[in-house]
């Protein structure tokens, strides 16, 4: 994409083991400002654990992880986090604007009285994700796509340098998937964000992704989508025949050893 920016996230010789099981090892990855990296792989390959490592919730077994040159510990305002879309129950006393407000100062002690200045900041954030209209409705009454818009605004509220997205497209329909991807693209350009995007389906992201990290069976490949999402590369990675099929502008990974469920673009399947 554009000229290479500052290194925001840096994993060096990183390894993660749970007991006997190695999720991944010797992982080197630098994510630069303005870059979108998709993390792909089946269930249990350690995609979400990678995010937990970067958030400081899980410790690496070996190697190091740095955000903006500093070792990770605990959470940080420099890191924005967009979780899976989970429908908020409508019993919660929470509107869209309150969710964004929590992203702004929810980590501070005290009561936090409402102020005009705070309201304006929240309004600006809502406007940046085109969600002003739904801001005063109960969160539980918003659609999944609208909730994810609020989630984006919430993640941007701390003015992060790194955006971590943990399957934010899950259970969204295609139109809303596109909206979320466009928002990610817009914000990384406007704010020069580094983005790490965990997903099981790369297709909605293909237009905006710069590189992919593909995890499988304790091993991985990093590169541009054209370098990694190829039959020969994935066959080598999985150690069993894999075919990458391009059909109607979509990528489908067929095969992958133990894992029929590792396929991308699984909505074409019964």
Determine, following the binding rule CB under 8 A, whether residue 81 of this chain makes contact with other proteins.
yes
Question: Can you give the length of the chain in residues?
Answer: 270
- What is the C-alpha separation between 149 and 130, in angstroms, rounded? 8
Nearer to other proteins, 99 or 209 (CB): 99
Q: How near is the Cβ of 154 to other proteins at its closest, in Å?
A: 7
What 3-state class would DSSP assign to 128? helix
Q: How near is the Cβ of 53 to other proteins at its closest, in Å?
A: 12
Please report, for the chain, how many H helices and E strands are present, in that order. 7, 12
Among 16, 50, 79, 202, binds other proteins (CB under 8 A): 79
Q: How near is the Cβ of 152 to other proteins at its closest, in Å?
A: 12
Determine, following the binding rule CB under 8 A, whether residue 200 of this chain makes contact with other proteins.
no
Q: How near is the Cβ of 126 to other proteins at its closest, in Å?
A: 16
Determine, following the binding rule CB under 8 A, whether residue 154 of this chain makes contact with other proteins.
yes
Pairing of strands 250-255, 7-18: unpaired
Name the phi and psi angles at 225, rounded to 5: -55, -40
Determine, following the binding rule CB under 8 A, whether residue 256 of this chain makes contact with other proteins.
no
Stretch that binds other proteins, among 18-26, 83-91, 177-185, 241-249 (CB under 8 A): 83-91
> Strand locations in the chain, DSSP E?
7-18, 21-32, 36-41, 62-67, 70-71, 79-82, 162-166, 194-198, 211-216, 219-223, 242-247, 250-255
Closest by CA position to 267, among listed 247, 239, 240 = 247
In angstroms, the Cα distances linking 130 to 88, 171, 194, 225 are 20, 21, 21, 29
Determine, following the binding rule CB under 8 A, whether residue 98 of this chain makes contact with other proteins.
yes
Q: How near is the Cβ of 253 to other proteins at its closest, in Å?
A: 28
Give the footprint of other proteins on this chain (CB under 8 A).
Answer: 55-57, 74-77, 79, 81, 83, 88, 91-95, 98-99, 102-103, 105-112, 114, 137-139, 151, 154-155, 158, 164
């Amino acid at each position: 994409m554009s000229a290479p920016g500052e290194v925001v996230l840096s994993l060096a010789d990183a390894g993660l083991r749970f007991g006997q099981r190695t999720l991944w090892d010797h992982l080197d990855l630098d994510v630069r400002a303005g870059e979108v990296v998709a993390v792909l792989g089946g269930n249990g390959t350690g995609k979400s654990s990678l995010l937990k490592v970067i958030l400081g919730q899980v410790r690496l077994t070996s190697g190091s992880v740095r955000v903006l040159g500093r070792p990770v510990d605990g959470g940080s305002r420099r890191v924005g986090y967009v979780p899976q879309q989970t429908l908020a129950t409508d019993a919660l006393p929470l509107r869209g604007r309150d969710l964004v407000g929590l992203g702004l100062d929810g980590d501070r002690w005290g009561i936090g009285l409402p102020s005009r200045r705070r309201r304006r900041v929240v309004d600006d954030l809502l406007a940046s994700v085109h969600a002003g209209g739904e801001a005063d409705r109960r969160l539980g009454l918003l659609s999944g796509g609208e909730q994810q818009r609020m989630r984006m605004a919430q993640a941007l509220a701390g003015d992060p340098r790194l955006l971590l997205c943990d399957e934010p497209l899950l259970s969204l329909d295609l139109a809303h998937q596109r909206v979320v991807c466009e928002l990610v693209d817009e914000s990384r350009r406007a704010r020069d964000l580094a983005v790490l995007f965990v997903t099981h389906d790369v297709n909605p992201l293909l237009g905006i992704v710069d590189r992919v990290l593909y995890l499988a069976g304790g091993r991985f490949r990093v590169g541009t989508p054209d370098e990694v999402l190829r039959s020969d590369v994935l066959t080598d990675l999985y150690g069993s025949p894999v075919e990458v099929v391009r059909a109607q502008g979509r990528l489908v990974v067929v095969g992958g050893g133990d894992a029929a469920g590792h396929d991308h673009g699984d909505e074409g399947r019964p």
